Amino acid sequence: MTTITIKGMSCNHCVMAVTKALEEIGAIKNVRVDLKKGEATFDKAGPVDMDTIREQIKKAGYEVGE
Report the domain count for the chain: 1
**Tens of pLDDT, residues 9-55:** 999 999 999 999 999 998 999 999 999 999 999 999 999 999 999 99
Structural domain boundaries, residue 26: 2-64
**Nearest 5°: CA angle at 1, between 24 and 30?**
40
In angstroms, rounded to a whole number, what is the distance separating the alpha carbons of residues 25 and 35?
A: 20
Label residue 18 exposed, middle or buried (CB < 10 Å: 0-12, 13-18, 19+).
buried
Domain containing 32 — which CATH number?
Answer: 3.30.70.100
Query: What's the pTM value of the predicted model, to 2 decimals?
Result: 0.90
